[in-house]
Chain A
Amino acid sequence: MTTPPKIYKTEAIVLKHFAIGEADYLLTMYTPNGGKLRAVAKGARRVKSKLGGHLEPLMRTSVLMTRGQNLDNINQAEVMEGFRVVREDLDRLSRALYISELVDAITPDEQPNYPIYRLLFEAMRSLNENAAPSLMPYFQLRLLDYSGFMPELYKCVECGSTLAPGHHRFTPDRGGSLCDSCHPLNVSVLPLSLDTLKVLRFLQRETYANIERLHLEQGTLLELERLMEALLRHVLDREVKATRFLNQVAQGRTSDGISTLTASNTKG
């Protein structure tokens, strides 16, 4: 067996940082060949640090690292893409924060998964460029797929029969669609309209270039949103915390955001 090199270089997308010690950051990053990694950036919180502005969350950056006993150390960092449009637009930013939390929540440590890196990168680029409404359901569905949780969209998860064209139901607990004759007990069930089913199948097989141009009706978008949220809650066994901020930002755009501040202290 060969020992891995002590110093190595990789590109990474920073998912989050956490202040530790006097002036350090503990970073969680997603890398193309190493999956999710945690590393320490010593002194990165100092104003004069050479690392600081190159390791902010949501940046795509190139890092030089030294393997440590517990955690690796970041020696050098140089930002490749800062996604500045995302950072300066509240709607895009709230979606990017959701995306980064979701990747962090669903991926295990140090398990290489190149498709997830590519998907994350693609999503950040898309948010920076045009922020198409189809991005979120596409991202959620593909992330589930690459993590081994692709929902069944062609057969009934209860009896295995092929779905006939029409309106059906979806069960997040079983991870797929239900035919009209099956009514399993004790599982949560959501409506699955024919339009939404078609969109889901489209998102499942098409490349992102085709999906960007997809026009989605408001009703379909809402149904997709609910479905994905329920499925993710089932897979993660918890809420994605950033969902709340995503909704607060969306509400602030349509009505008065002040109400989201006053009506919100019910839940911690």
Chain B
Amino acid sequence: MNYEFLPSVAAPLARVIQEFHKLPGIGPKSAQRLAYYLIRMPAEEAQSLAEAILAVKERVTFCNICQNITENSPCYLCSHESRDRSRICVVEEPMDVLSLERTQAYKGLYHVLHGVISPASGIGPENLKIRELLERLKGNDVQEIILATNPSLEGESTAMYVHRLLSPLVSHITRLARGLPVGSDLEYADEVTLSRALEGRQEV
């Protein structure tokens, strides 16, 4: 839908609808709803939203070590003295770092790939931060790489590809255990998940 040519829609409104429509997961209906919400919003809230959007573009950068999104490079985690520098956990997205940090079970460093390999969508290894990971390994004493991509087809492809590249460089490469999610039901588990969960069984 092109709102610019609809005379019944005020031009500034049409512009904001167009802009919202460009965001991921926002269809034309949602874009309209958000735009009309903006109009009813108090002026200071709108101001604050606009500033937040500008600030995120101006002040946020990539950490030159782990490639996570940060205000200062190196990021908080990479500059923290208590973190174990011999371990790197490789994840797809910055959100995954947050999830793993919430567990408080991991004390090493991270590496954010910013995506997964998806050949049919035109995303290959060269579009991810894999080269940066290889650079990072040079001259650093890394004992373990933990591949923590999602257990999806794209996540698995990426893990296998990274594994193949890193195996001559790092002695210990591990993959997150894949099993049944908490709260799931054996009856509905697929054969791949079930067979992997069986292989990963543990003494109780």
Note all chain A residues with C-beta closer than 8 A to B152.
Answer: 56
Note all chain A residues with C-beta closer than 8 A to B146.
Answer: none
Residue ID in chain A nearest B160 by CB atoms? A90
For the complex formed, measure the closest distance between the CB of A44 and the CB atoms of chain B, giving whole angstroms: 11
The verdict on A233 contacting chain B, using a C-beta distance below 8 Å, is no
Question: Are A248 and B124 also in contact (CB < 8 A) when A48-B184, A56-B153, A90-B157 are?
Answer: yes
Question: Are A84 and B192 also in contact (CB < 8 A) when A90-B160, A252-B165, A261-B134 are?
Answer: yes
Note all chain A residues with C-beta closer than 8 A to B120.
Answer: 16, 97, 100-101, 104, 241-242
User: Is the CB–CB distance between A98 and B156 below 8 Å?
Assistant: no
The verdict on B190 contacting chain A, using a C-beta distance below 8 Å, is yes
User: Is the CB–CB distance between B183 and A241 below 8 Å?
Assistant: no
Note all chain B residues with C-beta closer than 8 A to A252.
Answer: 161, 164-165
User: Is the CB–CB distance between A260 and B192 below 8 Å?
Assistant: no
Taken together as a complex, chains A and B put the C-alpha atoms of A20 and B130 apart, in Å, by 27
Give the size range of B's interface with the partner: 20 to 34
List B residues 105-159 near A (Cβ within 8 Å).
117, 119-122, 124-126, 130-131, 134, 152-153, 156-157
Note all chain A residues with C-beta closer than 8 A to B122.
Answer: 241, 268
Note all chain B residues with C-beta closer than 8 A to A244.
Answer: 119, 124
Interface string of A85-122 (1 = CB under 8 A from B): 00111100110011011001000000000000000000
User: Is the CB–CB distance between B125 and A261 below 8 Å?
Assistant: yes
User: Is the CB–CB distance between B181 and A87 below 8 Å?
Assistant: no
User: Is the CB–CB distance between B164 and A21 below 8 Å?
Assistant: no
User: Is the CB–CB distance between B124 and A245 below 8 Å?
Assistant: yes
Q: Interface of B with A (CB < 8 Å)? A: 25, 117, 119-122, 124-126, 130-131, 134, 152-153, 156-157, 160-161, 164-165, 181, 183-185, 188-193, 195
* Cross-chain pairs A/B with CB under 8 angstroms, 14 sampled: A47-B181, A48-B183, A48-B184, A52-B190, A56-B152, A57-B153, A58-B153, A88-B156, A90-B164, A94-B157, A97-B119, A104-B120, A257-B161, A262-B131
